[in-house]
Amino acid sequence: MEKIEEQFGRLRLAKRSVLSEEPAYLLDIDISKPVQSESSHFVAVSCSNQSIRIYNRATLTFLREYSSSPGMLNGVRFAHTRDSVVFSACTDGTVKCWDVRLATQKAVQIFSGYPSNVFISFDINCSDLIICAGTEKVEKDTFLVFWDARGDTSCASKSKEPLGVYSESHNDDITRICFHPTKPSLVVSGSTDGLVNVFDINKDNEDDALISTCNSDSSVSFIGWSGKDYKQVYCMTHDEGFSWWDLAQLDTEEPITLLHVLDVREAVCIENGTLNYLVGGLYHEKADKLLLIGGTSTGNIHLISCGLDGLSVVGALRGGHAAAVRSFCWDATDESLLTGAEDAQLLLWKPGAAERSLAKKTSLKTASSVQKRVRVHSTSLRSSKK
C-alpha cells in the first residue's frame, strides 16, 4: 500500500483546460487507446450541455465538439483498436460514432435502436466487435440493446440495426454498462433497480447468458471489474454505497460478497473535512488494488483503497478544482490522472509536474442544463443466483 500512497502522492497539477464559451459540467472522460507504443493522442469529454468535446491529450487544447441536439449524449468511449474513433449513446435512440481526425461534425456511423429506446448508458467490448446500450424504463420495458460494431464508417447514411436485446434481467433504468477488459463476451450492467447483472453474450439466450445477479440494495451509479484476471465486479450507488463481489466463488461454497458498505462517507475519515460523494473506481493492475475516487463539494479529490477488512484513505489531490468532481480517467501508461468537475474545467495530474497554463482556477460553478435524477429503491428485489 505504500507504493500506492507514494505514487499518488507524487501527482501534481500539470495542465488545465481553458474554459469554453459555454461552461458545462464534465460528466465522463475517456482517452484514446495508444497505437502500438505511442501515447494517447485525444481526450473526449461528455458534457452537461449535451455535447462531446475533444481535446489534445498532451496539451489539453480544445479541438472540436460534437452534439446531437435535441437528443442528449450520455457517456463517451474511444474504440480500442482505432485511436481516432469515439462513441456516445444518445437519448434519441441511437449510439453515434465520430472520427476525431475528420473536420466534419457529422457522425460517421449511427447504430439505431427500436422506436421507444432512450439510451442512457453504453460500452463497446475490448475487441471492438460489439456495442451494448442500456435504456431508460419506458412503460414496463427496459432493454440492453446489442449491435455488431463492425462496418463501413465511410458510409454514414445507413444506420445499423440491432443484433438483438435482453429484456428480462432489469426492471428499471439501466444506468451503467461495462464490458470485461480482456474477455469480449463478458459484460456487467447496473440499474436503478439495484441489480448488478453479469452476462456471457456468447450464450444463445438471455437466461443462459445471465451468469450472476448481485444486489446492491440501491440505485447503481458506477460499475467496474477488478482483481487478477478481472474476476471481481464492484459497484457504487447514488446514495454513496459500495459493493464488491468475487465471481470466482460462484462455483464454490464461499460467499461471493467481498465487501458491502452502506455509506462510504461514514466509513472513511478525511483529514480536516468530510467526504461528500463518490465519483467512481479503478483497478490498479501493478499494485493489484481496487481504488475508489471520492471528493468534497469544494473540489478536493480523495483516493480510497478497498480491502477485505474495509476502506482506507490513501491520498488526496487539493487545489485543482473549485467545485464537485464528476469524472476522471486514469492513464496507466504514464500514471497520470484526468479529472473533470462542475467548475467546467478539465485537469491533468502527472507525477512531479508543475502547472504551466494560462488558464486559472476559477470559483465558477456552472448552472447545469441537466439535473441528474436520483431514485433510490427500497423495495425488495430479486435475490442473486448465489
Read out DSSP for 268-299? S-BTTB---EEEEEEEETTTTEEEEEEE-TTS
Question: Scanning the structure block, which residue is given the C-alpha cell 491520498?
Answer: 315
Q: What is the pLDDT averaged over residues 376-383?
A: 36
In a domain, 19, yes or no: yes
Q: Which amino acid is at 190?
A: G
In a domain, 10, yes or no: yes
Q: For residue range 169-190, list pLDDT tens digits in order.
A: 999 999 999 999 999 999 999 9
Nearest-angstrom CA–CA distance, 381 and 58: 46
More confident site: 273 or 208: 208
What sign does the dihedral 205-91-173-304 (CA atoms) show? positive
What are the residues facing 315 on neighbouring strands? Answer: 303
Residue 378: which residues within 8 A CB-CB, separation 6 or more? none
What sign does the dihedral 241-246-249-253 (CA atoms) show? negative
In a domain, 382, yes or no: no
3-class state of residue 260 by DSSP: strand
Q: For residue range 114-166, list pLDDT tens digits in order.
A: 999 999 999 999 999 999 999 999 998 999 999 999 876 555 557 899 999 99
* Whole-number percent of the chain with pLDDT over 70: 88
Closest CA to 279 of 252, 304, 311: 304
Nearest-angstrom CA–CA distance, 104 and 126: 27
| Residue 70: pLDDT band with limits 50, 70, 90 | confident
pLDDT score recorded for residue 21: 75
| CB atoms near residue 325 (< 10 Å) | 28
In a domain, 360, yes or no: no
Q: What is the pLDDT averaged over residues 6-20?
A: 89
| CB atoms near residue 352 (< 10 Å) | 8
In a domain, 361, yes or no: no
Nearest-angstrom CA–CA distance, 51 and 71: 10
In a domain, 198, yes or no: yes
In a domain, 56, yes or no: yes
In a domain, 131, yes or no: yes
3-class state of residue 233 by DSSP: strand
Q: What's the CATH code of the domain at 249? A: 2.130.10.10
Q: How much of the chain is in helix, strand and coil states, percent to nearest 5?
A: 5, 45, 50
Q: Which three cell numbers stand for residue 274?
A: 468530510
pLDDT at residue 228 tops 60: yes
In degrees and rounded to multiples of 5, residue 336 shows phi and psi of -115, 165
Q: Number of structural domains, the chain?
A: 1
Residue 298 belongs to domain spanning: 4-351
Closest CA to 301 of 336, 334, 341, 267: 341
Nearest-angstrom CA–CA distance, 85 and 6: 35
Q: Which three cell numbers stand for residue 82?
A: 482505432
pLDDT score recorded for residue 2: 56
N- to C-terminal Cα separation, the chain: 32
